[in-house]
Amino acid sequence: MFVFGLAVVFKLLSIQFIEGDKYKALAEKRVVKDVVIPANRGNVYSANGNLLATSIPKYDIRIDAVTSSSKDFKKYLKPLADSLAKFTGKSSSYYQRELRKARANKNRYYLLVRNIGYSDYIRIRNFPLLNLGAFKGGLIVEQKTKREHPMGGIAQRTIGYERIDEQGNVTRPGIDGAFGIKYLRGVDGKRKKQRIGKGQWKPLSDANEIEPKDGYDVYTTIDVNIQDIAHHALLEQLEKYKADHGCVVVMETKTGEVKAISNLGRSSKGYYYEKRNYAVWESHEPGSTFKLMAITAALEDKVIDTSDVVDTGKGVLTYYGKKVRDSKYGGYGKISVSKAFEVSSNTGIVKVIHKAYAKNPEKFVDRLYAMNLNDTLQIPIIGEGKPVIPDPRIKNGRWSGIALQWMAYGYGVSFTPLQTLTFYNAIANGGEMVKPRFLKEVREFDKVIEPFKKEVINEQICSKETVKKVQQLLKNVVEKEHGTGHRLYSKNFSMAGKTGTCQKDYSNKEKLNYISSFAGYFPAENPKYSCIVVIHEPDKSVGYYGADVSGPVFKRIAQKIYTDTPLVDEVETLEVKQPSVEKEYEGYYNLAQKYKTIMPNVVGLPAMDALSLLENMDVKLKVKLKGSGVVKEQSVNKSVKLKDNQTVVLSAS
């Protein structure tokens, strides 16, 4: 017994003086931990300053019903219950009963309110008892952020978002995913929490050990006016033709800046929403819009000329037992290559390409490669589809006896809408192929962190002579009476482009559907914008030709851009920019479009929205909110020039 006692004493002394620090650290690790405080992701703005995506803080408020003294708990129980009752609409007696029960059950994590905004959080933390803080009052605040898209579903897939599934897998499509880690994410903070039992943790103090640093703001190339036009033009046509899905992209010809991109898919209930980024992701057979690439290649190789005559025969050609049928029953007879393109004669285009390259198809493929058609665009948005061009020199390169002939009119090859548009855009600007661009710059407040400039993929995809010839062909498609796009013609406004109608699932007649498209640019003489519209599986009983289905979307966008949209550099007065009181909520995110140092009129807005708006101005404001609900008064009048650190008081009820 004596020896055993000595052993116990020795072990106690060893633990206390030799291994004490080790066990103390282990004990603290089990009861105290560092919790990550996620930084607010930076905002995403349009090219003209409209807020497209922002992180809104949300709060859960709990109470440690044990930590406060009996004196304080008894003193503030009813005042706290009264305040909570006024806030939630439940009775004061309900909260008094629940809080007493929580204290009796030693509940150190009782939920008071969930998912509230910043102004409500400030209000609640000043309620009786809670205003004593974490230890004396038992206040527990849990903050999270929610990504909001003020413009709604418009361009949401391109703007992006963060989604975490049940397995913890993170999906970040669009700009949020492409630039989130480098720019938008920010630096997380840290806060110490103490375990209070049953897997629950309570902050050790009201302050964070390391404050989170918000991410940078990203300014995109998207123009909300053009985006709105494109979105609704596409939506209207999808609904009219009951199509499965579709997309539209509008790009600035000289810079490659994407001004609008809309991707709409049909739900099981029949409504359309931003389902997938079809413009970037979906690689498909382009059909007749590829005839531009085929003719450009042949003109550049000088194996044809637009004035050459081709015999379309009776509208049917046969290669290796496979038939190529013309766009017109019986064919067009003997016509020029120019007219064959303008009327979109399948047999005409196939015949000239077969004659020019049948003995050396590698030459045709090499010319397509030289025009960068086999390359992805290397855009930062994740998920770009890969182009497909059959090549006889590559094993399993999808080459067959009829590959050349099918390629000539857009079958067997595959491109995304954005890749097709990039080629048309190069023709529009004289031959320079520019990379589609979604970002203008990254900012930290007023400081530009990184600007983004035009990137050139190919300085000259073909000769100026070839460019001029195909530009005239594209113009004729719309202007000539026999052109497939003539129904889009307007004597007041010039456009150039190519229709496309491609069979989908053509191996199965029962499932046969179509892809309708139109790609081009406007104005035809001095192109400013290029545009592509692709609509999948329109109702065949209503119509499916590219000129009928996709062409009108293109025309509507082109006309509205130049008739309805105010120019970005247009001089406007402050009074014109200020919305009426009746429309303030609708105009909430447009108020600061140009005048982000001018006080907007926020009377009539929800208090949280007004608070968020003012905190996103280009000046640092001290915003004080009195009350909650809708803003009734503001201490600074609208149109007043704001200064840094200026105090703005909002009264709400």
Span 582-652: which CATH code?
3.30.10.20
pLDDT, residue 598, reads 77
pLDDT higher at 300 or 562: 300
The reply to whether 38-220 and 582-652 are identical in fold is: no
How much is the pLDDT for 208? 59
* In contact, 525 and 494? CB cutoff 8 Å: yes
What is the per-residue pLDDT for 506?
Answer: 64
Cα distances (Å, whole numbers) of residue 405 to 345, 352, 398: 13, 10, 13
Handedness of CA 92, 94, 95, 100 (dihedral sign): positive
pLDDT over threshold 90, residue 46? no
Mean of pLDDT values over 562-587: 38
Residue 35 phi, psi dihedral angles, 5° rounding = -110, 135
> 618 — phi, psi (to 5°)?
-85, 5
**Looking at 79-93, 199-213, 487-501, 618-632, which range is the least confident one?**
199-213
Q: What is the pTM (predicted TM-score) of this model?
A: 0.74
* Alpha-carbon 411 to chain mean position: 30
Spell out the alpha helix ranges (H) of 19-65: 20-31
Angle at 91 between CA 88 and CA 95, to 5 degrees: 85
Dist CA 409 CA 484 (whole Å): 15
Q: What is the pLDDT of residue 574?
A: 29
- List for the chain the helix, strand, coil content (%; round to 5): 35, 25, 40
* Of 505 and 138, more confident: 138
Please report, for residues 351, 357, 362, 392, 596, the alpha-carbon distance to residue 347 in angstroms, rounded to integers and kept in the order given. Answer: 6, 15, 21, 23, 58
592 vs 614: CA distance, rounded Å: 9
Q: What pLDDT, on the 0 to 100 scale, is given for residue 58?
A: 86
To 10 degrees, what angle do helices 464-479 and 291-300 make? 140
Q: List, in order, residues 6 or more apart from 494 with CB less than 8 Å away.
A: 475, 478, 479, 522, 523, 524, 525
**Predicted pLDDT at 395:** 84
Q: In angstroms, rounded to a whole number, what is the distance separating the alpha carbons of residues 416 and 282?
A: 5
Task: Quote the pLDDT of residue 169.
Answer: 54
Whether the pLDDT of residue 79 is over 60: the answer is: yes
Smallest CA-to-CA distance from 251 within 436, 459, 384 is with: 436
Three-state DSSP state, 653:
coil
**193, 201 Cβ separation under 8 angstroms:** yes
Rounded to the nearest 10 degrees, the angle between the axes of helix 92-104 and helix 70-88 is: 140
Q: How far apart are CA 209 and CA 207, in angstroms?
A: 7
Higher pLDDT, 496 or 446: 496
**Each residue of 421-454: pLDDT tens digit?**
999 999 999 999 999 999 999 998 889 999 999 9
User: Which of 448, 442, 548, 559 has the alpha carbon at shortest distance from 501?
Assistant: 548
DSSP code, position 287: G
Query: Reduced to 3 states, what is the DSSP secondary structure of residue 314?
Result: coil
- Give whichever of 43-47, 271-275, 336-340 has the largest mean pLDDT: 336-340
Confidence class for position 572, pLDDT limits 50, 70, 90: very low
Strands (E) in 157-308, as ranges, are 163-164, 170-171, 189-197, 200-203, 217-220, 245-252, 258-266, 272-273
Q: Which fold has domain 224-563?
A: Beta-lactamase (3.40.710)
Q: What is the arithmetic mean of pLDDT over 72-90?
A: 95
Contact (CB, 8 A) for 417 and 262: no
pLDDT above 80 for 188: no
Separation of alpha carbons 255 and 239, rounded Å: 33
pLDDT of residue 566: 43
pLDDT at 112: 96
pLDDT per position as a tens digit, 635-649: 988 777 788 788 889
Report domain extents, the chain. Answer: 38-220, 224-563, 582-652
The answer to whether 345 and 337 are in contact (CB under 8 A) is no
Percent of the chain exceeding pLDDT 70 equals 82
- Tell me what the mean pLDDT of segment 48-73 comes to: 89
Question: Regarding predicted confidence, which is higher, 110 or 56?
Answer: 110
| Spatial distance between the Cα atoms of 53 and 359, rounded to a whole number of angstroms | 55
The DSSP string of 215-242 is PPEEEES--HHHHHHHHHHHHHHHHHHT
> What is the pLDDT, as a whole number, of residue 590?
45
Give the lowest-confidence range in 170-184, 534-548, 560-574, 633-647: 560-574
CATH number of the domain located at residue range(s) 38-220 in this protein: 3.90.1310.10
**What is the model's pLDDT at position 587?**
40
Indicate the pLDDT class of residue 185, thresholds 50, 70 and 90: confident
Per-residue pLDDT at 351:
96
Mean pLDDT (the chain, rounded): 84
Whole-number pLDDT of residue 583: 36
Give me the pLDDT at residue 406, please: 95
| DSSP letters for 378-417 | --SSTTPPPPB---TTSTTS---TTHHHHHHTTSS-BB-H
Q: Is the pLDDT of residue 593 over 90?
A: no
The amino acid occupying position 269 is K
Contact (Cβ atoms closer than 8 angstroms) between residue 34 and residue 203: no
